[in-house]
Chain A
């Protein structure tokens, strides 16, 4: 190979690099390890974790069973080791599954168009807000304090240099739902979008229709956010929203300490050309057979450069495929039954602890730790190898005694009874 190139050594291929940029020593990284040593290292790190603990944490990341078929499919090299499907003739596998994914997201959310995925739910929110600015020509964003606190932080980071002032509105102190009066007082004719989440961060189901009515009355869009996708198996889809931005982690995506997950953006057909990210469309090949390809690329950075709808390039395709397989395996009946089990488990647990809010909830709720701190409750539970709910003080100083609990189909009755025991003490 060297003689074909016309050099005498590998080193010669680098000879022209300016000497001052060359690293003049070996990298200070230990010698290569065997497969066995690598597995051993990571197994040890895994042991230094929460193996053997039951967990009642939700708050945007949920413990749901992952059907075996999911890893079977995404482990296939044809999906795992392919690139973004620019060459449609040899990427129909990926393209078809994305088309199915887009369809299922529409069916799930009641929207008409969905993209091929975003990084996660938290980054889908600012992308949806930027989209609302383009659609309305306005600039203000109103976001509910019941939207995931970390999502709101991400929204603020994205907004700060885009001429997109973000303001928050509150929640009803008893119900834990949107504070409608506060929303009414803050919305104006410069508001591009109102952002709500349902079930909200407290697990409570919001009145989407009412929020949409208020937004639309002022000429703003309603952006609907979800973090618990399983809820859509039972809940009325947000048909009155204009843009849906959500997180699919619940669909067979392991918690993995917070990522990789898959976000989505779905919307009405009339806003299709403002949607960020990749879209797959149906067409035909020259023999007249149905085929799929990436489409409407003129929205995207590789064509439009500084005028693109977003800078997003790589998204979360393989994770979206996990969600696609999950939706296929559970299907029409299964997702509903799964959601029903989540509802039942959460209501069982909630029946045994004092609730902070009165609003209807799906599989998460806020408990009040009367007379003790949430940390004290959790310390007592950790001794029983149970990881309790999330103390809310870090995000809501006014909810000092509030803890956010989640129960899913994976929560066993005896563990919930053990939680009840600690609460009763």
Chain B
């Protein structure tokens, strides 16, 4: 039975361009307090345009109705559980939104004199300090704009260090359970990729790793806990193997929500890692960004960090550009500062104990789901898991229903689906990460939904295959979208 939702009125909305009429406007500019200038005269007639063809023309009330109506066609954390594995969709506290909009912070220009930016620099300095305490690393750069950008920065750092030692080496080892960004990053940094097979417990196989590491290997990119939610039990041994061969350990911090306050990558052999402030530290995902991907390193990598670097001398904050060994900039200015403000606010609200409690609750919630649906779905890897758990559609697939179909049926029950078909090492993966901010009541509804769907599949698989049934948009034809791409509106 579907307990969480029933249907309600949800308005249709045409595209802006279809709703425009000539001359409508939603803005008002003040009168010009200086003489007007003839654009064609000062810029040249050939350099000026007549009009922006097709641009919207709507009134203010039409604009707000447009976006409000569209917003009601979205699912969001504010509406309920959003259990996307590895995405850490936790509640986004609104105070963080408010403080990021404080005028002296939001209107700081990156080229303001340093004497007039001490406040925002202090915020960044404080966040750096907190992230170092949480990760156990020696230095951090806040410049990267997202996780994948952080990976790229981190691998460039490794390359720079190895180059300074005489040989950048050729390959990066990546477990087969890794996110797609890892191999894509390695390629962008000029490395080839060698996949490392996981063992039957879902962990890196230490023996095959030891065999794969030779003088051509620059680093291992490892996610810990990995994408199965399993903590790599042999992580210190793995680091020893890498270090013995002069190679580095890069940790993808996507799953750091399982470790904060419990274990620190800097204490278990990691040389470089990135954090996703939009996962662990709750800056909003915003429908796909912005993120922020700080990169933390151990001492030997510090000289290579992107420039400029923040420093404090005699109580004054400033930027240091004198970094001859730096890999250079990975982004203009200093990073996604608005996200740094939000992340620091999050850390301050929790405090040290609160952060640790959040981790424990995240692990509790994931294990609760794992325990309750274990009789209905196949759990291919039995090792203990932390903040997420990965089931397989093995049993349901025998009846012709796959993970993607179960996901669509979950929508009918009022939930956003889990992560579908990832990690690739699990057949028909159902990757569930509830996060710590969900109540038992919400988790119970979710578990009930999954159990109910498992029964539906046995009784009426056809119905599940056609899900979702209750949404305003039924199953979307993605195949045609890709075959005949229409990626912009055009007038008929």
Contact present for B42 and A360 (CB under 8 Å): yes
Chain B residues near A84 (CB, 8 Å)?
A: 285, 287-289
Contact present for A390 and B64 (CB under 8 Å): no
Residue A83, interface by CB 8 Å: yes
Contact present for A327 and B278 (CB under 8 Å): no
Chain A residues near B353 (CB, 8 Å)?
A: 26-27, 31-32
Residue B263, interface by CB 8 Å: yes
Contact of A336 among B52, B179, B188, B336 (CB under 8 A): B52
- A-contacting residues, B237-276, CB 8 Å: 260-264, 267-268, 276
Chain A residues near B98 (CB, 8 Å)?
A: 39
Contact present for B332 and A148 (CB under 8 Å): yes
Residue B145, interface by CB 8 Å: yes
CA distance A96 to B363 in the complex (A): 35
Contact present for B56 and A90 (CB under 8 Å): no
Contact present for A103 and B105 (CB under 8 Å): no
Chain A residues near B336 (CB, 8 Å)?
A: 119, 259-260
Using CB atoms, name the residue of chain B closest to A77: B78
Binds A, one of B205-213, B390-398, B455-463, B484-492: B484-492
Chain B residues near A10 (CB, 8 Å)?
A: 360, 363-364
Using CB atoms, name the residue of chain A closest to B307: A153
CA distance A317 to B278 in the complex (A): 13
Chain B residues near A396 (CB, 8 Å)?
A: none
Using CB atoms, name the residue of chain B closest to A266: B488
- B-contacting residues, A1-18, CB 8 Å: 1-2, 4-7, 10, 13-14, 16-18
Chain B residues near A148 (CB, 8 Å)?
A: 332
Interface string of A328-349 (1 = CB under 8 A from B): 1111111111111101110110
Binds B, one of A138-146, A212-220, A301-309: A301-309
Chain B residues near A236 (CB, 8 Å)?
A: 46-49
B interface bracket (residues with beta carbon within 8 Å of A): 35 or more
Residue B9, interface by CB 8 Å: no
Residue B297, interface by CB 8 Å: no
Contact present for A331 and B367 (CB under 8 Å): no
Residue A413, interface by CB 8 Å: yes
Chain B residues near A258 (CB, 8 Å)?
A: 110, 332-335, 337
CA distance A321 to B345 in the complex (A): 24
Residue B351, interface by CB 8 Å: yes
Chain A residues near B159 (CB, 8 Å)?
A: 161
Contact present for B287 and A90 (CB under 8 Å): no
Residue A108, interface by CB 8 Å: yes
Residue A318, interface by CB 8 Å: yes
Chain B nearest Cβ from A45, distance in angstroms: 4
Contact of A45 among B16, B119, B181, B267 (CB under 8 A): B119
Contact present for A46 and B103 (CB under 8 Å): yes
Contact present for B26 and A157 (CB under 8 Å): no
Contact present for A314 and B291 (CB under 8 Å): yes
Chain B nearest Cβ from A215, distance in angstroms: 19
- B-contacting residues, A365-405, CB 8 Å: 378, 382, 387, 390
Residue B164, interface by CB 8 Å: no
Contact present for B190 and A161 (CB under 8 Å): yes
Chain A residues near B235 (CB, 8 Å)?
A: 18, 21
Contact present for B291 and A45 (CB under 8 Å): no
- Looking at B48, B82, B98, B473, the one whose CB has the most chain A CB atoms below 10 A away is B473
Chain B residues near A122 (CB, 8 Å)?
A: 329, 331-333
Q: A158-B188, A257-B105 are in contact. Are A301 and B27 (CB under 8 A)?
A: no
Residue B466, interface by CB 8 Å: yes
Contact present for A314 and B289 (CB under 8 Å): yes
- A-contacting residues, B360-387, CB 8 Å: 360, 363-364, 367-368, 370-372, 384, 386
Chain B residues near A296 (CB, 8 Å)?
A: 482, 485
Chain A residues near B480 (CB, 8 Å)?
A: 283-284
- A-contacting residues, B177-230, CB 8 Å: 179-181, 183-190, 192-193
Chain B nearest Cβ from A48, distance in angstroms: 3
Chain B residues near A60 (CB, 8 Å)?
A: 110, 332-333
Interface string of A164-177 (1 = CB under 8 A from B): 00000000000000
Chain A nearest Cβ from B165, distance in angstroms: 16
CA distance A345 to B420 in the complex (A): 53
Contact present for B286 and A301 (CB under 8 Å): no
Chain B residues near A116 (CB, 8 Å)?
A: 288
CA distance A413 to B30 in the complex (A): 13
CA distance A4 to B368 in the complex (A): 7
Chain A nearest Cβ from B207, distance in angstroms: 18
Contact present for B289 and A49 (CB under 8 Å): no
Contact present for B49 and A341 (CB under 8 Å): no
Contact present for B481 and A93 (CB under 8 Å): no
Interface string of A113-154 (1 = CB under 8 A from B): 110110111110000000000000000000000001011011
CA distance A20 to B267 in the complex (A): 8
Using CB atoms, name the residue of chain B closest to A334: B27
Interface string of B441-479 (1 = CB under 8 A from A): 000000000000000000000000010100111111110
CA distance A411 to B46 in the complex (A): 28
Contact present for A237 and B49 (CB under 8 Å): yes
Chain B residues near A332 (CB, 8 Å)?
A: 20, 51-52, 55-57
Using CB atoms, name the residue of chain A closest to B71: A78
Contact present for A28 and B289 (CB under 8 Å): no
Contact of A321 among B49, B287, B333, B466 (CB under 8 A): B287
Contact present for A83 and B372 (CB under 8 Å): no
Residue A424, interface by CB 8 Å: no
Residue A325, interface by CB 8 Å: yes
Chain A residues near B287 (CB, 8 Å)?
A: 79, 82-85, 91, 94, 98, 317-318, 321
Contact of B288 among A151, A237, A278, A286 (CB under 8 A): A278
- A-contacting residues, B87-110, CB 8 Å: 87, 89, 91-92, 95, 97-110
Residue B137, interface by CB 8 Å: no
Contact present for A61 and B184 (CB under 8 Å): no
Using CB atoms, name the residue of chain A closest to B276: A314
Contact present for B99 and A39 (CB under 8 Å): yes
Contact present for A119 and B119 (CB under 8 Å): no
Chain B residues near A53 (CB, 8 Å)?
A: 116
Contact present for B97 and A341 (CB under 8 Å): no
Chain A residues near B186 (CB, 8 Å)?
A: 306
Contact present for B55 and A119 (CB under 8 Å): no
Chain A residues near B286 (CB, 8 Å)?
A: 74, 79-80, 82, 317-319, 321
Contact present for B148 and A311 (CB under 8 Å): yes
Residue A421, interface by CB 8 Å: no
Residue B113, interface by CB 8 Å: yes
- B-contacting residues, A207-246, CB 8 Å: 209, 232-237
Contact present for B73 and A256 (CB under 8 Å): no
Chain A residues near B430 (CB, 8 Å)?
A: none
Contact present for B332 and A107 (CB under 8 Å): no
CA distance A79 to B181 in the complex (A): 25
Contact present for A57 and B112 (CB under 8 Å): yes
Contact present for A82 and B352 (CB under 8 Å): no
CA distance A130 to B24 in the complex (A): 41
Contact present for B87 and A33 (CB under 8 Å): no
Contact present for A77 and B76 (CB under 8 Å): yes
Chain A nearest Cβ from B252, distance in angstroms: 11
Contact present for A286 and B477 (CB under 8 Å): yes
Residue B313, interface by CB 8 Å: no
Interface string of A286-322 (1 = CB under 8 A from B): 1101011111111011111111101111111111010
Chain B residues near A272 (CB, 8 Å)?
A: 485, 487
Contact present for A412 and B331 (CB under 8 Å): no
Chain A residues near B117 (CB, 8 Å)?
A: 49-50, 257
Beyond A29-B130, A316-B289: 16 further Cβ-contacts under 8 Å? Answer: A14-B363, A49-B119, A50-B117, A63-B109, A77-B78, A80-B78, A150-B333, A237-B49, A282-B487, A283-B476, A285-B475, A295-B478, A306-B183, A318-B289, A335-B52, A387-B116
Q: List 20 A-B contacts (CB under 8 A).
A: A20-B268, A49-B116, A50-B112, A53-B116, A80-B286, A81-B91, A90-B75, A98-B287, A154-B330, A157-B330, A162-B190, A235-B47, A272-B487, A284-B477, A316-B145, A317-B288, A321-B287, A347-B37, A347-B42, A348-B34
Closest 8 CB pairs of A and B: A258-B333, A318-B286, A46-B104, A77-B78, A161-B190, A48-B119, A317-B288, A32-B351
